[in-house]
Amino acid sequence: MTHDPHAGLTALLPRLFAFGLTMLGDADAARDLVQEAAARALAATRVPDEAPAYRAWMFRIARNAALDEIRRKQQTVAADHTPVDLWHYDDRRIAKITVDQGLATLAPPHREIISLIDIAGFSYGEAAELLGVPAGTIMSRIARARSALLAAIEASSIQPLKSRHG
Amino acid sequence: MADDPKDHDLLRLNALVDGELAPTERADVAARLAVNRDLARAYATLARLKASVAEGVAETPAFVLPKRRRYTIRRVAAAAASLAAVIGLGLWALDTHNAKRGDTVVSAEGPTAITLASLPAGTNIPRLDTAGLKLVGLTIGPGRVPLVTATYRGPHGCRLDLRAWPAGAAEAPPLPGTASARWTAGGLTYELTAHGMPKWRFALIAEGAKEQTRSGTDPLRAEQRLRQANNGPPPCVG
């Protein structure tokens, strides 16, 4: 029986797509990104053997492709929102629609760390290895990114619908 | 970031939400959450935010992974065996209501004519209707490169050009386009060129076309690729 080093690729595609979508903010671009990342991976001569390493390797490929795309598009600088007071935040504002809109206004590094931790599901250690930084840096980056996202949500003009009771 | 005690709490709350705190530290933060209302509220906000981000994962589109290179050489004879069926398939894609004179078919959008009898042996003209692309022109140039040129058009302005020439012969002159794919089947080199089509869609169509030019492949698989390519927003505008 031959070992297929890409056996786990199909299972990774949804998370890779979600990562691409958060990074690029466009479904078509995210689809192209994943397709391109998969093509690069399948053409590679050296492929990590173990599942966690393979997953990190795939995301590294997707991340590089996303950063290339962001550079190519020369996307506009992210909006600078007023910092929020987390201790008294009205979290009724947090909903899928406001989160999506907020993510789209964040700077790429914020979008990246939120994608890796909350969407791709990497641990701090795994994300640190993937980005080549200490785990402590991931801890502060995710905290900053979430604060920025909360600020973006608060700055948004969209109000989630109130749920009806009774 | 952690100079301010609140910043330190913020780091720890985020780590708690992410399940990244060591057991002792987790117990310590949990004890504080129980008595500190602001801290508990901030924790709830972060947890809700994390859940909303994860919930926001969009529906994943279908992907067709590129095939890895195979090191098998297909027999030309096998391709020849499929010739008759494939020629029929390719020509079926032409609008059969178009004018027919003898063995010549005139395409709907131009004066391009083909002579069935002069199609070179081993030439497979893929049918891409499932992907929304009609074969609108087919020219052959016996003894020339490319030997065959086929043009497909979609309802939203997409255009694809397929060229084929004998493998190993002189290369066809480069054709400008936004994406292209090249493969060999049945002793011919095929080249599919897109003009303004999203890369993902082109990749699927190229896979479908490739499947059809090769003998012994599953026709349903080609059909599936082309159907997937037809899903989503209009492929090209203008």
Sign of CA dihedral A123, A129, A100, A11: negative
Give residue A91's pLDDT: 79
- Residue B145: phi and psi, rounded to 5, are -125, 125
Residue B232 pairs with which residues in a beta bridge? none
State the amino acid at position B71 in one-letter form. Y
By C-alpha distance, which of B179, B236, B188, B158 is closest to A28? B236
- Residue B30 forms contact with A (CB below 8 Å): no
Residue of chain B minimizing CA distance to A85: B42
User: Best interface-test mutation with A: which of B49, B69, B207 has the largest number of A CBs within 10 A?
Assistant: B49
- Residue B53 forms contact with A (CB below 8 Å): yes
CA-CA distance, B41 to B219, in Å (whole number)? 58
User: Across the interface, do B53 and A99 touch by the CB < 8 Å criterion?
Assistant: yes
A chain contacts of residue B41, beta-carbon cutoff 8 Å? 87-89
Q: Is-contact B95 A136, C-beta < 8 A?
A: no
Which ranges constitute the DSSP H helices of A25-134? Answer: 27-43, 51-73, 96-105, 108-114, 124-131
Give residue B170's pLDDT: 80
For chain B, list residues with pLDDT below 70.
1-5, 56-59, 64-123, 136-143, 216, 218-219, 232-238
User: Across the interface, do B199 and A123 touch by the CB < 8 Å criterion?
Assistant: no
- Residue B78 forms contact with A (CB below 8 Å): no
Residue of chain B minimizing CA distance to A111: B53
CA-CA distance, B204 to B220, in Å (whole number)? 14
A chain contacts of residue B20, beta-carbon cutoff 8 Å? 123-124, 139
Give residue A84's pLDDT: 78
CA-CA distance, B47 to B42, in Å (whole number)? 9
CA-CA distance, B84 to A14, in Å (whole number)? 41
User: Across the interface, do B52 and A94 touch by the CB < 8 Å criterion?
Assistant: yes
A chain contacts of residue B200, beta-carbon cutoff 8 Å? 28, 31-32, 35
By C-alpha distance, which of A55, A71, A20, A67 is closest to A129? A55
Token pair for B225 = 């690729």
How do the pLDDT tens digits run along chain A, 166 residues long?
456 778 888 888 888 998 999 899 888 889 889 988 888 888 888 889 888 889 999 999 999 999 988 888 765 556 667 777 788 888 788 888 888 889 988 998 999 999 999 988 899 999 999 999 999 999 999 999 999 999 999 887 666 555 444 3
Q: Which residue's entry shows tokens 């390493």?
A: A53
Facing A35 at nearest CB: one of B10, B18, B200: B200
User: Best interface-test mutation with A: which of B1, B14, B55 has the largest number of A CBs within 10 A?
Assistant: B14
CA-based nearest distance A32→chain B, Å: 5
Give residue A70's pLDDT: 86
Residue of chain A minimizing CA distance to B1: A140
By C-alpha distance, which of B192, B169, B188 is closest to B179? B192
Give residue B120's pLDDT: 55
Q: Is-contact B65 A9, C-beta < 8 A?
A: yes
ipTM: 0.85
pTM of the model: 0.54
Give residue A159's pLDDT: 62
CA-based nearest distance A130→chain B, Å: 17
> Which run of H or E residues covers position B115?
strand B113-115
Give residue B124's pLDDT: 73
Q: What is the DSSP letter of A5?
A: T
Q: Is-contact B166 B188, C-beta < 8 A?
A: yes
Q: Is-contact A5 A47, C-beta < 8 A?
A: yes
